[in-house]
Structure 1
């Protein structure tokens, strides 16, 4: 009986990291209810951003509809989203 021949599999190089290696992110979404100054305050108080950083993030959220606030382990991102919910802000968690 002949031994089966195994063909080497060519691997394609991709720029994307494997699904399990990609970090999770907390995304804050724009809403028509909260004032821009309030959003800046929350970003500063809860995540330690400087006023300038928080204002840039707020403008991104306002003009683009959403902004990534934090990234890391899934459990931490869910916690960060719940912190934003406590302030009345709309937030979700997703893979980056």
Structure 2
């Protein structure tokens, strides 16, 4: 019985780690204009103007903003897309 419970506990930890979402983070840089960053968020992610500007201001004022959360592969695609727009972006595990 104990072996079964230990197996279930281990399995739930593994499943939780696999299911944990990932984030795409855009970082502030001295190159891109705030209007351009907002434009990228609207055009690529489809954010409404208000949300795009809120995220852009977070990048500008706090140095970074989480712009998307989901599975790792999708977040890596988003980060690569941000690189294509000339923005600095990374992927990281989302906080639990």
Higher Rg of the two aligned structures: 1
TM-score (normalised: structure 2): 0.80
Q: Distance in 2 between matches of 1:40 and 1:92?
A: 18
SS of residue matched to 1:34: coil
Which portions of structure 1, spanning 4 or more consecutive aligned residues, are displaced by more than 3 angstroms?
none
User: In structure 1, which of residues 25, 28, 31 is the aligned counterpart of residue 29 of structure 2?
Assistant: 31
Shift of the alpha carbon at 1:21? 2.7
TM-score (normalised: structure 1): 0.80
**Number of residue-to-residue matches in the alignment:** 84
List runs of 5+ in structure 2 lacking aligned partners: 7-15
RMSD: 1.9
Shift of the alpha carbon at 1:22? 1.5
Greater fraction of residues in helix: 2
1:39-78 equivalence runs, <5 A = 39-78=37-76
Shift of the alpha carbon at 1:73? 0.8
List runs of 5+ in structure 1 lacking aligned partners: 1-5, 10-17
